[in-house]
Structure 1
């Protein structure tokens, strides 16, 4: 018998727990009012003076940083009604995203996809971002920071296109807080959540609980997720403190939606032109009824902060990541017989077992260099990353498991339909040992100039094991070592106290194909990590007495030695490709009055293959000059926030994504789309507020992730309501 607790029952339990916690805290502390600090947006009207830790280890403000950096604060997450970490990315210029089950961390930024981006969690990479960076419910998120362009000098291999860092809530000195939420949405979705922070003398305890469940927009698709995060801030001595943070995440989706098949040409020709769908198939789910993906993740962090002097600080982070991911699905659906039936094929039973251990030490110092003001940071970064995969698949595109009605597919179960036997057989295991030295410096040169530099040297040892029958192209064991050196050099000029311009060059090192956590013999035996470099010019300006700000940046990125199949030997991968990206990004925000705020962003990307050869029916075909799949030329967004009265707030946001291609041939595409969102906040009393939200207000049909075989559609119009109680 399966026991489940409804969202309402969970909310009542959380509220009871919160009241008990509050009473105990009151009994152990003096009965007096505690100071409360209300934190706002990290990018508000004066936000260029705020710091974004992801872009530097020197604590530089955004205006001091020679790079395009975006920060999405907790305040903005609430205003936009972002339910998970991917929806938060709507506020980052130029970023598009999707969460197809097989690669739920799908993100594109500055012309590059997930394999060339770093998606960090509290500044930590698990080197498996396209899979591991699944959307997480936003309740536990404090903010998201994004850096455009190469930044391997900060966190190691990866990040040619950029870095996205999700930062979760943790115990701090902002004062006692207590908040509970009950949320409801269409299709029976529900949420119950609790946030508590209490000071007990000099110590601070924080607890975050969140549970969400309910049907998603396609047939049979049900999601259950919960997160628990606890942290303890403990002063050990004067100027020395330690924070222990533990986080547990669980997510399970039953009968995941893998995509909607597009109509096939009736004349037998190859697919070409704009994607076409049968409107009656939108929302139909062709996966087996007991299909699933499930993820269980545990994070442990130990954070030591030691103020050695007024000018020097030592930080140490120890972390552990433990993840188990499971998949049981029939994943491919194709129209057959003059589009009268859909063939289901390609079953996969898969498990990922990943463990990451790491230690990072950082020493920062503010001093003088040759008589000039100079801030420096030095550090040592070590990690061990092991992942074992358990794949078991049946590929049968030409001979499908069955043919079903496109509008009412016959129910089927995974094991009888696929012919796969239950049980997990290990297939491959990768072990990564990484050791890195890094340094950063900012020196004020005088005359309004400041030089910002960074350098990182990585020593990466990879041992890839084939746990099944060895072959010539997949031996029992393969070991290799990489030693990339990456960096950034930037110059910032103050034209005035409110206006800065900058120029910078930065580099990155990427795996040539796939990810180091899964890459094997064929992808790595013949060459080093591929190299990427970027040149960027930009400007940052505050205006209207600090009530507004604007930023602009132009950049060029090139990545060389992209891995492709050897035209003369299909068993080998060789580095002969090159991809470039030339782009423009602009952002602006203006608090026009105490009641009215405006914001917007606009990005144009000219991404191209400069040198790329693809195998088509056994023949090499040049794709030089073509745009990479899923990369739009234009991305734009705007938002208006209006506090109509002291108790009523309204918001309207708009998003545009331009045309994208589904393949490297650029002969299958989907047009651009626009999405509207509408929100309202009603302050019922000083402690109780009601939030209402409608996403995709116009019910636009759009493709979130393009594929010439199985496009993944975005969600239709949806509505949610949430009741927040502060106590």
Structure 2
């Protein structure tokens, strides 16, 4: 039974006020800095120009936009021997994607794989935050407890850049499947422009946002954004709430030297929902709206992210960039997350988790780019280093007995009051990375792009509970590289090939256990061939990539002794990806992409009932081998636009034995917008138009399905002034 659409119009007050001092602190800092901005320096400084282009008759995959995610040389995707996509922030918001995870999953070969506990993605046969890295403004977000909680709100994004395939040469371990970089809105030259958004929809969902940015004078410019969202959710007790505040102030000391101070605050309280149990292996419609979590559940993430960026051009052919940063994240869980249906009409509720994580990340990244000649050939070279320290504390409860409850007359009850929480362990992780990248222009058409990175990671762990054997001090080192060639057959057509290596931690680095510290990181390699083209006078762009990836040094059980681990396992994937953007007319545009892959365990054993069983030849769980996206946009009248999109995710196995699977699904969304005035746009968003019941992901193997959003609608008004 699908959840009904039930907007309640009783809520009329939309609040942007947060009880947390962090947004007020950020706003106060912003005002203080802006006040200082009006001081006369006595010098005239010209701000860098920003060029804006209208789409006209073009449709774009971003092949001509500089993308820092695929290369520190800021090459365009046409110049980069890798698969890179650029998703503009305005496009993301126009399509109605509620989270950045949803937006990223519209890129070729990217699918969602995580639950409400922070979200995760899968790419090229590898799933999870330790295989698909998340970045914010080019700096990696470290995984703790399998979770990355920031960024999440599309309002803050200027664009998203998606790099598919190993990214360790750019960002270090943990990116064998790819990297997703959210580039936030930044201070810009020009007249100050303000924008606001108000939206309301199904399940008492409301969204408010405000943004402002521009130049204060010839030296100072700023950007300020705030966004608040709330929903009652599409399941019982499915409330969610979020707040984001971002402020940035830029000082152009001279045309060659600028500083930018930024601070972002995010508070996210997603749905405390971990799915419903299957009955005889199938979804029972009677459970569609049921949430089996406790009534006083908690899921809360708080992130503070401060950066000081410097850019200096001491000469026309030299650029120096430096970023000093601090990120502090606090993540808390209090939930009952495991549910199993019993034949007598009851459920067994278990996995009572009371967990707290605290992660502080402090670091500095410096790089310098030179443009010149090498052996008489045009050459670009970037050299740099990144040093950071992570302090991680983890608390966890001492467990509680399972409960048996009526599945259909469900009384949620509260979290067990007998459970206590205490510090489990803490770690300090120091990382030093040195990297380089070079582009050598061999001829007018041929270029060679390569890179190297060396990482040294020191992990010092102190166990606070049952500490015997838990303390350790381990140093991991790894060197990764990428070499690729690009053949520009024409200025709009490129062929490329590349070979890259990568490293993946057995878990997130800060979560390394004493047992895992005895092993090395997993390693990987990829070979890729592809073609990219702009055609028909810029009205269309298309890309094609074929790849092979192999990951080695997986932990597997010894075939003769199930109590012994060996680091000899391997898995691989091979596949193809195709993306197309085309403007049939200035009013009718198409974006489409699809992927087909074959992911396999090459060598993998696990223990089943005390016996070691080989899973070689099986597909890794949670990895769809088929996926596709489509979006059609039509300006059918002078001030009207309609959009229609479809997202297809293929069959996924839910266990390593491939004994159970989740069926493929297709979800159709639509939009309708009316530019009522130059400064006012009204929009209508429809999600899951055919009210498809589907598993966005699974939990506890195949015992629970975390269901996606049912049919719902939202209306929105966007203002500019």
Q: Same fold (TM over 0.5)?
A: yes
Other structure's SS at 2:516 match: helix
Return the alpha-carbon distance in structure 1 between the equivalents of residues 582 and 593 of structure 2.
12
Q: Does 1:168 align with 2:184?
A: yes
Q: Does 1:298 align with 2:298?
A: no
Rate the CA distance shift 1:555–1:646 in 2: closer, same or farther, 3 A.
same
Q: List gaps (5 residues or longer) in structure 1.
A: 265-274
Return the alpha-carbon distance in structure 2 between the equivalents of residues 524 and 681 of structure 1.
55
Return the alpha-carbon distance in structure 2 between the equivalents of residues 494 and 167 of structure 1.
28
Other structure's SS at 1:517 match: helix
Q: 2:282 matched to which residue of 1?
A: 276
Return the alpha-carbon distance in structure 1 between the equivalents of residues 55 and 360 of structure 2.
34
Aligned partner of 1:715 among 709, 713, 716: 709
Rate the CA distance shift 1:572–1:388 in 2: closer, same or farther, 3 A.
farther
1:503-518 maps to which residues of 2 (within 5 A)?
A: 503-511=497-505, 513-518=506-511
Superposed displacement of residue 263, structure 1? 1.1
Q: Does 1:313 align with 2:313?
A: no
Deviates more, 1:155-164 or 1:174-183: 174-183
1:160-199 maps to which residues of 2 (within 5 A)?
A: 160-173=176-189, 175-199=191-215
Q: Does 1:440 align with 2:449?
A: no
Q: 2:82 matched to which residue of 1?
A: 67
Rate the CA distance shift 1:181–1:235 in 2: closer, same or farther, 3 A.
same
Aligned partner of 1:694 among 672, 686, 691: 686
Q: Does 1:79 align with 2:94?
A: yes
Return the alpha-carbon distance in structure 2 between the equivalents of residues 478 and 591 of structure 1.
58
Contact in 2 for aligned 1:555/1:584 (Cα 8 Å): yes
Q: 1:225 matched to which residue of 2?
A: 242
Superposed displacement of residue 581, structure 1? 0.5
Deviates more, 1:218-227 or 1:122-131: 122-131
Q: Does 1:596 align with 2:588?
A: yes
Q: Does 1:341 align with 2:346?
A: yes
Other structure's SS at 2:383 match: strand
1:54-133 maps to which residues of 2 (within 5 A)?
A: 54-102=69-117, 104-114=118-128, 115-128=130-143, 130-133=146-149
Aligned partner of 1:243 among 260, 269, 292: 260
Superposed displacement of residue 547, structure 1? 1.1
Deviates more, 1:36-45 or 1:605-614: 36-45
Return the alpha-carbon distance in structure 2 between the equivalents of residues 155 and 407 of structure 1.
49
Rate the CA distance shift 1:134–1:207 in 2: closer, same or farther, 3 A.
closer
Rate the CA distance shift 1:536–1:52 in 2: closer, same or farther, 3 A.
same
Output the aligned Cα RMSD.
2.5
Contact in 2 for aligned 1:342/1:406 (Cα 8 Å): yes
Q: Does 1:645 align with 2:637?
A: yes
1:113-159 C-alpha deviation (Å, 9 max, x unpaired)? 11222111222223207402456121111111111111101011111
Rate the CA distance shift 1:40–1:247 in 2: closer, same or farther, 3 A.
farther
Q: 1:578 matched to which residue of 2?
A: 570
Return the alpha-carbon distance in structure 2 between the equivalents of residues 521 and 307 of structure 1.
46
Q: 2:399 matched to which residue of 1?
A: 394
Aligned partner of 1:617 among 596, 605, 609: 609
Other structure's SS at 2:105 match: helix
Aligned partner of 1:325 among 326, 331, 336: 331
Return the alpha-carbon distance in structure 2 between the equivalents of residues 242 and 668 of structure 1.
54
Q: Does 1:362 align with 2:356?
A: no
1:327-726 maps to which residues of 2 (within 5 A)?
A: 327-336=333-342, 338-394=343-399, 396=401, 400-401=402-403, 403-416=404-417, 419-421=418-420, 424-446=421-443, 448-471=445-468, 475-511=469-505, 513-525=506-518, 527-566=519-558, 572-706=564-698, 707-726=701-720
Contact in 2 for aligned 1:150/1:508 (Cα 8 Å): yes
1:28-49 C-alpha deviation (Å, 9 max, x unpaired)? 89xxxx9996466899438322
Superposed displacement of residue 339, structure 1? 4.9
Rate the CA distance shift 1:46–1:666 in 2: closer, same or farther, 3 A.
closer
Rate the CA distance shift 1:572–1:123 in 2: closer, same or farther, 3 A.
farther
Contact in 1 for aligned 2:345/2:408 (Cα 8 Å): no
Return the alpha-carbon distance in structure 1 between the equivalents of residues 55 and 346 of structure 2.
52
Rate the CA distance shift 1:230–1:489 in 2: closer, same or farther, 3 A.
same
Contact in 1 for aligned 2:69/2:162 (Cα 8 Å): yes
Return the alpha-carbon distance in structure 1 between the equivalents of residues 559 and 512 of structure 2.
21
Superposed displacement of residue 95, structure 1? 1.0
Return the alpha-carbon distance in structure 2 between the equivalents of residues 380 and 174 of structure 1.
34
Rate the CA distance shift 1:388–1:77 in 2: closer, same or farther, 3 A.
same
Rate the CA distance shift 1:321–1:719 in 2: closer, same or farther, 3 A.
same
Contact in 1 for aligned 2:231/2:240 (Cα 8 Å): yes
Contact in 1 for aligned 2:189/2:214 (Cα 8 Å): no
Superposed displacement of residue 106, structure 1? 2.0
Other structure's SS at 1:489 match: strand
Return the alpha-carbon distance in structure 2 between the equivalents of residues 714 and 46 of structure 1.
27
Other structure's SS at 1:524 match: helix
Return the alpha-carbon distance in structure 1 between the equivalents of residues 449 and 504 of structure 2.
23
Contact in 1 for aligned 2:674/2:682 (Cα 8 Å): yes
Superposed displacement of residue 469, structure 1? 2.0
Return the alpha-carbon distance in structure 2 between the equivalents of residues 283 and 222 of structure 1.
13
Other structure's SS at 2:147 match: helix
Other structure's SS at 2:203 match: helix
Q: List gaps (5 residues or longer) in structure 2.
A: 1-9, 40-46
Return the alpha-carbon distance in structure 1 between the equivalents of residues 300 and 564 of structure 2.
34
Contact in 2 for aligned 1:523/1:573 (Cα 8 Å): no
Q: 1:272 matched to which residue of 2?
A: none
Rate the CA distance shift 1:572–1:8 in 2: closer, same or farther, 3 A.
farther
Other structure's SS at 1:51 match: coil
Return the alpha-carbon distance in structure 1 between the equivalents of residues 142 and 628 of structure 2.
30
Other structure's SS at 1:76 match: helix
Other structure's SS at 2:78 match: coil
Rate the CA distance shift 1:167–1:514 in 2: closer, same or farther, 3 A.
same
Other structure's SS at 2:69 match: helix
Other structure's SS at 1:363 match: strand
Rate the CA distance shift 1:440–1:105 in 2: closer, same or farther, 3 A.
same
Return the alpha-carbon distance in structure 2 between the equivalents of residues 46 and 342 of structure 1.
48
Deviates more, 1:583-592 or 1:229-238: 229-238
Return the alpha-carbon distance in structure 2 between the equivalents of residues 297 and 572 of structure 1.
39
Return the alpha-carbon distance in structure 1 between the equivalents of residues 234 and 152 of structure 2.
18
Rate the CA distance shift 1:163–1:46 in 2: closer, same or farther, 3 A.
closer
Other structure's SS at 2:93 match: helix
1:477-497 C-alpha deviation (Å, 9 max, x unpaired)? 111111100010000011122
Other structure's SS at 1:131 match: coil
- Work out the number of aligned pairs and report it: 686
Return the alpha-carbon distance in structure 2 between the equivalents of residues 493 and 440 of structure 1.
18
Other structure's SS at 1:93 match: coil
Q: 1:271 matched to which residue of 2?
A: none
